[in-house]
Amino acid sequence: MSEAYKYVDPDYTYTDPKTGILRNLAGLTDPEALLFFESGAVAKRIQELYENPIKIKGIESLFTIHKHLFQDVYAWAGEKRKVEISKAGKQFFPTTHFDNAFRYIDSLISDFKKIPKKNKQQIAEKLAEILDTVNYLHPFREGNGRTQREFLR
């Protein structure tokens, strides 16, 4: 795994201090084994969402999707992160302001639902705005991208 994709968890809230590996339900300490385990478990759960999609009502749906995708891998699946994290030297949205961000995202979703289905340009623009906002928010310690893709789908 490239250094560009490692997160910083200075308090070891989510990672093992000896290995730096995310604490996981399988007790895996090898990064390749965890990647393999997580990939398989999440792929199975994505297939379930294709068959039974979660209706997007607001930001809480994002947490429901994350819980569904990562329930077999992490005890904290579906929970907002409790630590400040950065990736490749870039700080994500501060946890102290999550509530404001959640309200803002709910307003974006509300605006999206008002767009006429035939207005593809406006739909695409609003989805891009939602994706950009949720990506900067980065509410989870792991699995943000996969959760975002399912959220938008």
Model confidence at 113, pLDDT cuts 50, 70, 90, reads very high
Helices marked H in the chain:
31-51, 59-70, 98-113, 120-137, 144-152
The reported pLDDT for the residue numbered 8 is 62
Model confidence at 88, pLDDT cuts 50, 70, 90, reads confident
The CATH class that applies to domain 3-152 reads: mainly alpha
Q: Which structure tokens are listed for 63?
A: 């947490």
Can you give the pTM of this predicted structure? 0.91
Whether pLDDT at 100 is above 70 = yes
- Using an 8 Å Cβ cutoff, are 37 and 26 in contact? yes
Whether pLDDT at 1 is above 70 = no
Model confidence at 4, pLDDT cuts 50, 70, 90, reads very low
